[in-house]
Amino acid sequence: MITGTAQADCAVLTVAAGVGELEAGVSKNGQTCEHALLAYTLRVKQLIVGVNKVDSTEPPYSQKRYEEIIKEDVYKIGGIDMAPVGCGQTGVLKPGMVVTFAPVNVTIEVKSVEMHHEALSEAIPGENVGFNVKNVSVKDVHHGNVAGDSKNDPPMEAAGFTAQVTILNHPGQIRAGYAPVLDCHTAHIASKFAELKEKIVVMAKNWKMALNS
């Protein structure tokens, strides 16, 4: 889920209209709220809501129950070919370029660049594209890797970085030394919190924010 959401401009959220299911989903620890918040933290600001299990309402196919949930059209998006996929951040990507993937330090040639199954002469920042590569195995490149021009300041592995992390749900205290599995963009990797610099507390009811150093 996170891999796709991190590259999306819009998300589709399916909610169940059955008795008790909608309420459970939007409760404090419900998955409906959790998935919507997760999409928001990954900068997805547009959401399509699909209503499922409308035959489980009381009475079945209740129009009143249906109208309690936002309704939008949902479109199925087909699959893509086997190729690295990502969103351009800076510069351009063109066929024939030699790029380096970090932190795996794999250097490969770009065979072609595609978007929505159409070949591109170049990809610019903000575009989600796929690109075919030569002489590389699917085991060599992983989710979360960063690709850049091998001849112009190629990406390199970093020992650490400062991040703003959103905690969706945690049973205890989080302190320096905490070692979670971290989802950063499309990467899913073990990490350690070296230092907690500040804490932001969001009050959901009135959206007031308190900052504690």
pLDDT single digits (tens) 202-212? 655 544 444 44
- Alpha-carbon distance of 144 to 85, in angstroms, equals 10
**Calpha distance 136→123 (Å, rounded):** 21
Residue 106: both structure tokens together: 């794999």
83 near 114, Cβ under 8 Å?
Answer: yes
Say which amino acid occupies 110.
V
Computed from CA positions of residues 86, 87, 89, 95, in that sequence, does the dihedral angle turn out positive or negative?
A: positive
Cβ contact 44:9 at 8 Å: yes
SS3 55: helix
Identity at 24, one-letter amino acid code = A
Give 183 or 53, the one with higher predicted confidence.
53
Q: Which residues contact 163 (CB under 8 A, 6 or more apart)?
A: 184
Q: Yes or no: say if 17 and 26 are a contact pair by the CB < 8 Å rule.
A: no
| Nearest-angstrom CA–CA distance, 195 and 178 | 9
Per-residue pLDDT of 159-209, as tens digits, reads 888 888 777 777 788 889 988 887 777 777 888 899 998 887 765 554 444
**Rounded Cα gap, residues 157 and 160, in angstroms:** 9
- Residue 95 predicted with pLDDT over 50: yes
Q: Residues near 190 by Cβ (< 8 Å), separated by ≥ 6?
A: 179, 180, 181, 182
Structure confidence at residue 100 (pLDDT): 92
Q: List domains and CATH numbers for the chain.
A: 2-67 (no CATH), 85-149 (2.40.30.10), 160-213 (no CATH)
Q: Which two tokens stand for residue 104?
A: 């795996």
Task: Give the predicted TM-score (pTM) of the model.
Answer: 0.51
- DSSP H helical segments within the chain, as ranges? 2-5, 21-25, 31-41, 63-67
Quickly count: other Cβ atoms within 10 Å of residue 140's Cβ.
13
| pLDDT recorded at residue 58 | 84
